[in-house]
Structure 1
C-alpha cells in the first residue's frame, strides 16, 4: 500500500531583544508593523489503490488482481467476466456470469467497477465500456461465437462519500455489440468525487432494497468451490451471455476483450 507523507514546517518565529538604557517609548496608535513568512507542505508517493466492498464501501476488501489506470482520476478495479464451462446446445441459451468473490470473509457480490476521482476540481467524469471483438477461440481466430451478446442490467452506484453527489448510471439493459461504446455512468460537474462503485446487480444482503441477482452454483445439487478463492461459486443473473442455438459451437474455449474507459468531462 502506498502512502502520502505530509511534512509541515513552522516558519517565522521572531524574537526581539532590546539592549540599552532604561527608557519609556510612546508609540502612536497610527504606527503599525508586520512580519511575513512562508508555510510549506510536501507530498510524496501516490494515492492509495485500496479496493472496497461495493455494498459496504467503508470496508477494504481483496477481490484479487486487476488492471488499473490513471492517477488522481483512475480506474481502481474492473471485473473479469467468466461465463463458466457450458454444454453445447442447439437451443438459445442465457448464461449468467460468475459473481465476484474475495480473498477474505466478504460474501459474494455482483460484478462491479471501482473508480476514484481525487482531482479536487469537481469537473465530473464518464465511465464507458466497449467489446473489442466477438467471442473467438484464442488459438484459431476463425472459430467465432457468432451472435453472442453480453448483457448488463440493474446498475447502481455506491460510495462512502455520498455527500458529493451520485453519478448517474445507465438504467436500461445494455446489450453489447462488438465495436460499440456504451456509457455506464456519468458524474456531472460537482458529483462523483472520491471513490465510487458501479455494480450490476446485488447480493441479498445489500442495504439499497434491491432484489438479489445472485444464485449459488450447484452441480448435482452440490456447491461448487472456486479453486482460486476457496469459496462457494455464485452466479450473477444481472450479467449474462446470450448464445443463439443456431450458432455453430465447438468444444474449445472462447474469449473476447472488454475495454473500460474513464474520461474527464470537458
Structure 2
C-alpha cells in the first residue's frame, strides 16, 4: 500500500497542472494635465523691514515729522517707499560741518533701521529696471516771509554702503560701490537690475544695522554744509525725487 500511494502522487500533480489556467491581466495608461497661468502683478506692495525684507511681514515707516509716508505705486513695477532724511537741528557754525542722518523710525515701534528705498518688480518678464534719484533743488528755507539767506548754498547729501537685499533668490540688482554725493538737478543712479535680475521686492539700504550709532544715527547718510555758507536760524528743506524705469528692450 505504501508503494502504490507514492506512485500516485506525481500523477495527481500532473493532472492538476494540466487543468490549471492563468488569466491574462490587461494594463492601460491615460495622461491628463495640470495647468496654471500667471499675469503681471499689481496693487501696492507695503514697505518691508530692510533687515528682513519679507513682503509677508510689512512695516509702517514714519516720516521725520511723525506722519505716515505716502503710499507707493500699484502697477507691476513700483517704487514702494523711500526714506525721508532727517539731519537734525544744529547750532550755526562758521566751520565746515558734516551732519549724520537719523535712522529710519516706525509707527508705534521703538526699533530703528538703516534708511532705504524699496522697489518691487512683478512684471514676470525679467527684463530689468533702473532706479535713480535727483535732488530737485538746493536746501531752501521752509518758513515764508523775509529771508536773508533762503538757500543753503553748497550743502550736499552723500549716500554710502549701498546694500541690495531681498527675500527672493533672484539675481540682485547692481548698486554703487562707492559713496554718492547728490548734486541738485542731476540724476544719480542708485540701482541697476540688468536682464534676468531684480525680480520680486528689493530693498537698497544704506549701511547695516550694526552701523547705527547708540543714539540712533546712520553714518552712511550724511549732509555736508560749508562753514562759509551763511545761515538763518531756520529750517531748510529739499525734495528727493526717485525715478524707476524699465530698461530699453533694444
Q: What is the SS of the residue equivalent to 2:141?
A: coil
Work out the number of aligned pairs and report it: 202
Output the CA distance in 2 between the equivalents of 1:105 and 1:132.
Answer: 31
Output the CA distance in 1 between the equivalents of 2:82 and 2:50.
Answer: 12
Match of 2:223 among 241, 245, 258: 241
Match of 2:101 among 93, 97, 100: 97
Bigger share in helix: 2
2:47 and 2:60 in contact (8 A); partners too? yes
Match of 1:149 among 156, 161, 166: 156
Consecutive unaligned residues of structure 1, counting only runs of 5 or more, are: 1-38, 205-211, 218-233
Specify whether residues 42 and 176 from structure 1 end up closer, same or farther in structure 2 by C-alpha distance, changes over 3 A only.
Answer: closer
- Partner in structure 2 of residue 168 of structure 1: 174
- Partner in structure 1 of residue 47 of structure 2: 51
- Partner in structure 2 of residue 33 of structure 1: none
Output the CA distance in 2 between the equivalents of 1:256 and 1:42.
Answer: 41
Output the CA distance in 2 between the equivalents of 1:69 and 1:92.
Answer: 39
- Partner in structure 2 of residue 84 of structure 1: 88
Match of 2:196 among 190, 196, 213: 190
1:91 and 1:245 in contact (8 A); partners too? yes
Q: Which runs of 4+ in 1 moved over 4 A?
A: 39-43
Deviation at 1:49, TM superposition (A): 2.2
Match of 2:126 among 110, 122, 128: 122
Which deviations, in whole Å up to 9, do the C-alpha atoms of 1:32-53 show, x marking residues without a partner? xxxxxxx99899x943422211
- Partner in structure 1 of residue 233 of structure 2: 251
Deviation at 1:216, TM superposition (A): 2.8
Are 2:115 and 1:108 aligned? no
1:99 and 1:235 in contact (8 A); partners too? yes
Deviation at 1:153, TM superposition (A): 0.3
Consecutive unaligned residues of structure 2, counting only runs of 5 or more, are: 1-34, 63-67
Specify whether residues 198 and 252 from structure 1 end up closer, same or farther in structure 2 by C-alpha distance, changes over 3 A only.
Answer: same
Q: What is the SS of the residue equivalent to 2:51?
A: coil
Q: What is the SS of the residue equivalent to 1:216?
A: coil
1:93 and 1:244 in contact (8 A); partners too? yes
Output the CA distance in 2 between the equivalents of 1:115 and 1:41.
Answer: 24
Deviation at 1:103, TM superposition (A): 2.3
The normalised TM-score by structure 1 is 0.71
1:61 and 1:104 in contact (8 A); partners too? no
The normalised TM-score by structure 2 is 0.75
Which deviations, in whole Å up to 9, do the C-alpha atoms of 1:110-150 show, x marking residues without a partner? 10001100000111000100101100113268611011010
Are 2:198 and 1:203 aligned? no
Specify whether residues 144 and 42 from structure 1 end up closer, same or farther in structure 2 by C-alpha distance, changes over 3 A only.
Answer: closer
Output the CA distance in 1 between the equivalents of 2:227 and 2:133.
Answer: 27
